[in-house]
Structure 1
Amino acid sequence: MKTCGRTFQSLSVRNFRLFVFGQLLSVTCTWMMVIAQDWLVLELSGDSATALGVVTAMQFTPVLLLTLYGGRLADRYDKRRILLLANLASGFLALALGLWLLIGDVRLWHIWLFALALGTVNSVEAPTRISFVSEMVGTELLPNASAMSAAYFNVARVVGPAIAGLLIARLDVAAVVLINAVSYLGTVVSVALMRPSELHRAAVRPRKAGVVDGLRYIGGRPDLILPMALVGVLGLVGFNFQLTLPLLAKTEFHTDSTAFGLLSSSLAAGSLLAAFVTTARRGRPTALVVTGSALAFGALEAVTGLAPTLPAACVLLALTGFAMMYFAQASNHRVQLGSDPAYRGRVMALYTLIFQGTTPLAALLTGLLSEHWGPRWALYTGGLISLTAAAATLPLSRRSAQPPPGPNLPTRPGSSRHRNPRKTPLP
């Protein structure tokens, strides 16, 4: 019982509890939307891997261009209000696409435009949401809350694709898109019901919060640069399952949308288990933990490309998902728990930029590779390059020292002092 209590400790905070419930609904439907969008692109393009790569690139190109400015906004303005506006905008975009699908005359370039618009909103929403977690729970509960965020994300990732596969087969893509549009209200309502006085905000919000200042701060922190570099490599070549899984289902195993959902859910199930495992983390992980989990991920992804049958692929994807999430959480915690709260929005914006901003190039490369050699080769190549990159950074990880964090601005719920004496200033 005591262990269970520790696992869900951050849910004792009312604001974070509201946030998790709203996000669980919204993210589940977002994953349904991802499956529906990818399946629609394959239908419109005649199973073209390149077309699938283009729509993914369109969605993540704004992340590459605008995320650093999104982090600047998060440090300068009220994160809660930014989240409200971003989720309303995303809901409106999904509603517009759903109605367009009902009308009927949908072309491939329409999907590309929607992906571009949604990516623009996400470039602001993602760094704001990630850095807002520390404001909801404070420093002491941040590792647990971050792991719980990964847990609800992967619960959604398990449930969403499975439901989407059934709904697409029985209804249509338009129904899934419209359900996703309504689901954004879950996040909007949960954020609106929060108590601002209980948020752990910096006593002084920087007036300028320049992007260059944030980059200069990160440049002086080698302990932050190493995990970000690994995240960049693995994000570029390894985390391309949004492209490889639908192609694996359709072109290698010759199955329908239900099997595609099963492959996605298997990957997510392993990720979910890893997220729950990392809720036990109480401090900042070492560089060796980050590098070791990257090594495991690279090896497992490469082996997944050899899976001879659908059941074997599901098992290997579950193991790969575990290693992927363990690495993602370790790198996130190392970066976030090592950064000054005054810079955290910009630090996590750069982290998000590296994590997701490589996706446009990765999507195009993976699409071309899959088009000519098949999705198995995309998995082999991504896994082996990830494995090589992690092995190359292993000596640096062993020598990596953890410098003390820079001076922190005081944080508090409602004032410059902590009302909860257990909360300590500072990832």
Structure 2
Amino acid sequence: MSTGSGADSAPAPTTLDKPAHPKNSMFSSLRIRNYRLFAAGAVVSNTGTWMARITQDWLVLSLTGSSAAVGITTAMQFLPMLLFGLYGGVIADRFAKRNLLFVTQGAMGLGGLFLAAMTLTGHVQVWHVYVTAFFTGLVTVVDNPTRQSFVSELVGPDQVRNAVSLNSANFQSARLIGPAVAGVVTAAVGPGYAFLANGLSFLAPIAGLLLMRTGELTRSPLAPRRGKGQLREGLNHVREHPELIWPIVLIGFIGTFGFNFPIWLSAYADEVFHGGSGMYAAFTTLMAAGSLIGALLAARRPASRLRMLTATAGLFGVALIAVAAVPNAYVFAGLLVPVGAIGLTVNVTANSSVQMATDPEMRGRVMSLFMMVFVGGTPFGGPLFGWLTDTYGVRVSFALGGLVVAVAALAVGLILARAANLRLKVDLRRGRQHVRFVPREAELAPAA
């Protein structure tokens, strides 16, 4: 399955909430049977997805010889989210989420089987990849907010942050396995079988959904199926809460300018270090290892705080700028691990902060907006950074993405501090906390 003060605390419990589970540990959500089934199905389908994604990027590069074409493929997959993403959230809030997931997961499996058929018969052309990517994107419009908000139904509000972190760890574990398996399968029997494995992998989450005990779900209230103004209601809810709107704005900048790794890593492997598809798979695997570490560390933290979000986002941007100039392939590869860990921490912190600060009946619409801005900027970022890579080189493209992310993190951090009536205080005296936010009223207080 293909991720102000309100953000620091869960919504008030309702009569539907289950009793609190024991204190959070790294894997506390896995105590819940329905979540275990969800996670087991997800790791299988995620592995298939990563097999297809790596094979797809390299297939397009092989067919066209253009990084811009890889960017277009990525853009085709995420363009539907930009165009229709908010409507996916309305659908997610109107219908039972488990039932919707049967439909979306089955449709994604069919998309994988189509591309497998084209490749295995020797008729694959780049436009087949574009069409499949666009179809997958359309399904994802509904699938993403449904899966994101279904997590809270599986585990209840007290375990949302832990479950979101474990979902990310699940995805990154598959990201470690998928490229390696794809490389072996492609070398042994050809890329078509990697696409076939992806299509069949969606049988696992469908089986998990079938085996769930529906009576143990913490169901969210459903929106009326024919109600008017539901989309506007969700947008107004976000606009009225700074702890929602500014993390969503920040994640939009990060998704558009900071997460163009299929373009960057394939170009570094092919053009800078001349290592071919094996090096590209290795780069992707190392970054996934870092992301997995970041997800597991995030699972141990009991709360998501906005200051952590802005700080890690700024650090992520600075890391991209620093790594862009590394001249040695081995050093570059090693630094992908901390880059992956920091990037994943940003994603998990933003996701869980927004979910925890959102009313349950609005969660589908809010998460659709979150996912729309996170991945919906890719139709702009993918072709833009593909063009920058082809025209000015991948190092310039990589560093520019990091610069935009760092500036956005600084701006959002200052806006959130101002909304909370805080100011930045710098104290260089020994033994003091050198940089911190303090209430503005403290400026007027007499010196002790």
Q: TM-score scaled by structure 1?
A: 0.90
Whether 2:261 is the aligned partner of 1:255: answer no
Pick closer, same or farther for the CA change 1:4–1:141 going to 2, 3 Å. closer
Q: In the alignment, which of 79, 94, 102 is matched to residue 97 of structure 2?
A: 79
Q: CA deviation at 1:204?
A: 5.3
For 1:165 and 1:246, how far apart are their aligned partners in 2? 14
Decide whether the 8 Å contact of 2:90 with 2:231 is kept in 1: yes
Q: In the alignment, which of 238, 247, 254 is matched to residue 234 of structure 1?
A: 254
What's the secondary structure of 2:206's corresponding residue? helix
User: 1:306 matched to which residue of 2?
Assistant: 325
User: 1:413 matched to which residue of 2?
Assistant: none
Decide whether the 8 Å contact of 2:75 with 2:380 is kept in 1: yes
- Within-5 A mapping of 1:160-199: 160-199=178-217
For 2:337 and 2:275, how far apart are their aligned partners in 1? 19
Q: CA deviation at 1:304?
A: 1.5
Whether 2:134 is the aligned partner of 1:116: answer yes
Decide whether the 8 Å contact of 1:168 with 1:257 is kept in 2: no
Q: CA deviation at 1:270?
A: 0.8
Whether 2:81 is the aligned partner of 1:98: answer no
For 1:348 and 1:42, how far apart are their aligned partners in 2? 33
Decide whether the 8 Å contact of 1:206 with 1:342 is kept in 2: no
Q: CA deviation at 1:153?
A: 0.7
Whether 2:57 is the aligned partner of 1:53: answer no
Decide whether the 8 Å contact of 1:25 with 1:186 is kept in 2: yes
Q: In the alignment, which of 360, 373, 376 is matched to residue 357 of structure 1?
A: 376
Deviations 1:381-402 (A, max 9, x none): 0011111111222322334449
For 2:238 and 2:24, how far apart are their aligned partners in 1? 35
What's the secondary structure of 2:244's corresponding residue? helix
Whether 2:160 is the aligned partner of 1:139: answer no
Q: CA deviation at 1:165?
A: 2.2
Q: In the alignment, which of 354, 368, 381 is matched to residue 335 of structure 1?
A: 354
Whether 2:264 is the aligned partner of 1:244: answer yes
Q: Which amino acid aligns with 1:239?
A: F
Pick closer, same or farther for the CA change 1:4–1:337 going to 2, 3 Å. closer
User: 1:366 matched to which residue of 2?
Assistant: 385
Uncovered stretches (5+) of structure 2, i.e. residues with no partner: 1-21, 422-448
User: 1:216 matched to which residue of 2?
Assistant: 236
The percent of aligned pairs where both chains have the same amino acid is 38
Q: CA deviation at 1:203?
A: 4.7
Quick check: which has more Rg, 1 or 2? Answer: 2
For 1:214 and 1:394, how far apart are their aligned partners in 2? 24
Q: CA deviation at 1:275?
A: 0.4
Q: CA deviation at 1:330?
A: 1.0
Q: CA deviation at 1:26?
A: 0.5
User: 1:278 matched to which residue of 2?
Assistant: 298
Decide whether the 8 Å contact of 1:169 with 1:257 is kept in 2: no
What's the secondary structure of 2:219's corresponding residue? strand
Aligned residues: 398
What's the secondary structure of 1:200's corresponding residue? coil
Decide whether the 8 Å contact of 1:165 with 1:260 is kept in 2: no
Decide whether the 8 Å contact of 1:33 with 1:180 is kept in 2: yes
Deviations 1:270-303 (A, max 9, x none): 11111001112223x2221110000110011111
Uncovered stretches (5+) of structure 1, i.e. residues with no partner: 403-427
Q: Which amino acid aligns with 1:224?
A: L
Q: CA deviation at 1:134?
A: 0.2
User: 1:377 matched to which residue of 2?
Assistant: 396
For 2:349 and 2:80, how far apart are their aligned partners in 1? 26
For 1:310 and 1:175, how far apart are their aligned partners in 2? 30
For 1:311 and 1:397, how far apart are their aligned partners in 2? 39
User: 2:176 matched to which residue of 1?
Assistant: 158
Decide whether the 8 Å contact of 1:67 with 1:349 is kept in 2: yes
Question: In terms of mean alpha carbon deviation, does 157-166 or 55-64 score higher?
Answer: 157-166
For 1:5 and 1:398, how far apart are their aligned partners in 2? 29
Runs of 4+ with deviation above 6 angstroms: none
Q: Which amino acid aligns with 1:53?
A: G
Decide whether the 8 Å contact of 1:93 with 1:114 is kept in 2: yes
Decide whether the 8 Å contact of 1:287 with 1:398 is kept in 2: no
Q: Which amino acid aligns with 1:158?
A: L
Q: TM-score scaled by structure 2?
A: 0.86
User: 1:200 matched to which residue of 2?
Assistant: 218
Q: CA deviation at 1:329?
A: 1.0
Pick closer, same or farther for the CA change 1:212–1:5 going to 2, 3 Å. closer
For 1:253 and 1:243, how far apart are their aligned partners in 2? 15
Pick closer, same or farther for the CA change 1:227–1:203 going to 2, 3 Å. closer
